[in-house]
Chain A
């Protein structure tokens, strides 16, 4: 398997690992569930069956993967036509979103401040904008948006943010 093929197949391999981990956890937990008393199958039957099925499917996928020499099959996905995609940018966005969510664990940071900062930084991150007037406009819009959202959701939808 060449290095390029390995790189292209990394998401599929990672996904198979995730399925394996979830299936193994389900099987392990279902074995700890006591057998059913008043019914034919108990609480553990579905997790056990699905866990085994998942492992079987991963095995099948791994087999077809090896037979195809690591090349990913073409599938009908909802992704649509291929476009230039930067995983680094997506991970950067994920890091920003995680940081945004994490700020809510700090009671000292109000929603409006965290949201203003996040929307502004995300805009700058996505556009790479450096012009001062545009940045100023983006900052003002972010602050207004944060206050508007806070007002609408606390006053009308009674969400405690």
Chain B
């Protein structure tokens, strides 16, 4: 443990500061997302150790969530989806002549929320991992089914669209070497597909390059912002004054973050709604209420950290970004999943320690550099998009120095753009693409171990619980879908 923290505070610190700063910058720019920057940074981590790579990527993840509050507060444009609720009170407070205080409350709430979630992450992960280490192939398969069933919850509003995206993602993950027999399949005699579609070109194409195409098609309009300074004013008295709001929203955010598939946006909406419901003056919400900013920011940041609990203990990615982080672990041969704590405890503790240091770095950067970041937000996207394409090309090409991978990225960029136009979510596609090989390998290994019997999936308690949870998620999604269908028909 002490060695891990010593590494984080020495060799890892520059990566944490860099990752947090880049994450905050990207999060502050509407249209650029944390998933984009993490995907772009992945190939640059090839030359780094697994620990440093994860420190950089996790810091970007935390920074990107927080950065969204700058544009949400100053421009009424949430830089990230999770900052939507911050616009409701952040912008009115800024427009009323208090941008520094609005930003200060947001930064303080982000920090407190992250720290409370970090405490839960640090306390909950080791015992959970002790249980998870006893998992066999069927348990891991059942767990993967839970993660895949979350696609149903991610796709709320259009279950069929989400499932279509997921099935396509799953099919795309299959070509290449069969995980059990070692023979080639679905390559159609094309040697470029012998190793399947590499993770990075698919991620870069479907998430980053497709977004570039969307941005190229969108009208690039000048942005307007509130007047006044954009420095950050934090008052320690606010901590005592709104202590219950900080605590309540952080706990709500962490809990929702731990539930895979729900995410920071839902966390901030839930915390905001609760805060408004318990307030004696709910009419102030939406007009610059401090509690509104605190609830939204504390919840979305704690949700971000909370989402790391299932990722590092069970290997379940509950969102696109955590799925990319899981992919990063696979690329660095870190064996993510229930065995991470047993086989790579240094990695698990590096993530936990890295989150703590990244939170502190986030506080410092937001406090000191917000005036500069607020100016950088107005950078015309026409300056940013061409370099992003160049970095995408280098990222895809660097996988194995083949132009084939750049071509694969281009195909998935076109597919991602088509999905955007067809209003098909890309999240389920990415999650299914990453999880399907894991599900197939473990189901087939389990069948080999149990002489071809499926029965242990129901008789082994952990499997049964996981499958029941998966069924519950699917039923919940189906019921929600039916309700919204009836509402639309009425």
Distance, CA A94 to CA B209, complexed state (A): 9
Is there a chain B Cβ closer than 8 Å to A136's Cβ? no
Q: How many residues of B contact A (CB 8 A)?
A: 75
Interface string of A89-105 (1 = CB under 8 A from B): 11011100110110011
Interface string of B391-424 (1 = CB under 8 A from A): 1011001100101001100100111011111111
Distance, CA A16 to CA B418, complexed state (A): 10
The 3 A-B residue pairs with the shortest CB-CB distance, nearest first, are A90-B217, A40-B452, A11-B421
Known A22-B171, A122-B385, A123-B382; contact A115-B406, beta-carbon cutoff 8 A: no
Q: How many A-B Cβ pairs are below 8 Å?
A: 207
Q: A residues 118-146 with Cβ under 8 Å of B?
A: 118-119, 122-123, 126-127, 142, 145-146
Residues from chain A with Cβ under 8 Å of B406 in the complex: 101, 104
Distance, CA A142 to CA B447, complexed state (A): 57
Smallest Cβ distance from B132 to chain A, in angstroms? 25
Check A115 against B390 for contact (C-beta < 8 Å): yes
Residue in B157, B186, B410, B425 whose beta carbon sits within 8 Å of that of A97 in the complex: B410
Is there a chain A Cβ closer than 8 Å to B170's Cβ? yes
Distance, CA A76 to CA B382, complexed state (A): 28
Residues from chain A with Cβ under 8 Å of B414 in the complex: 94
Check B216 against A126 for contact (C-beta < 8 Å): yes
Smallest Cβ distance from B202 to chain A, in angstroms? 14
28 A-B pairs whose Cβ atoms sit less than 8 Å apart in the complex: A14-B422, A15-B422, A19-B167, A22-B171, A23-B167, A30-B185, A39-B447, A39-B448, A39-B452, A40-B447, A46-B170, A47-B171, A50-B170, A61-B160, A75-B425, A76-B156, A83-B219, A88-B217, A90-B213, A94-B213, A94-B413, A97-B212, A104-B397, A126-B220, A127-B382, A142-B386, A146-B390, A157-B46
Smallest Cβ distance from B447 to chain A, in angstroms? 5
Residue in B381, B383, B420, B448 whose beta carbon sits within 8 Å of that of A77 in the complex: B420
Check A41 against B447 for contact (C-beta < 8 Å): yes
Check A75 against B171 for contact (C-beta < 8 Å): no
Residue in A12, A15, A126 whose beta carbon sits within 8 Å of that of B382 in the complex: A126
Q: How many residues of A contact B (CB 8 A)?
A: 77
Known A43-B183, A90-B217; contact A77-B385, beta-carbon cutoff 8 A: no
Residue in A36, A77, A149 whose beta carbon sits within 8 Å of that of B394 in the complex: A149
Smallest Cβ distance from B14 to chain A, in angstroms? 14
Interface string of B127-169 (1 = CB under 8 A from A): 0000000000000000000000000000111101101100110
Check B394 against A29 for contact (C-beta < 8 Å): no
Distance, CA A138 to CA B482, complexed state (A): 54
Check A86 against B219 for contact (C-beta < 8 Å): yes
Task: List B residues at the A interface (Cβ < 8 Å).
Answer: 44, 46-47, 81, 155-158, 160-161, 163-164, 167-168, 170-172, 174, 178, 180-181, 183, 185-186, 188, 209, 212-214, 216-220, 380-383, 385-387, 389-391, 393-394, 397-398, 401, 403, 406-407, 410, 413-415, 417-427, 436, 440, 443-444, 447-448, 452, 488
Interface string of A62-99 (1 = CB under 8 A from B): 00100000001111111110011111111011100110
Check B47 against A158 for contact (C-beta < 8 Å): yes
Distance, CA A39 to CA B452, complexed state (A): 7
Among residues of A, the one whose C-beta sits closest to the C-beta of B163 is A57
Check B185 against A50 for contact (C-beta < 8 Å): no
Residues from chain B with Cβ under 8 Å of A39 in the complex: 180, 444, 447-448, 452
Check A11 against B174 for contact (C-beta < 8 Å): no
Distance, CA A116 to CA B172, complexed state (A): 34
Question: Which interface residue of B161, B163, B216, B381 has the most chain A CB atoms within 10 A?
Answer: B216
Residues from chain A with Cβ under 8 Å of B443 in the complex: 41
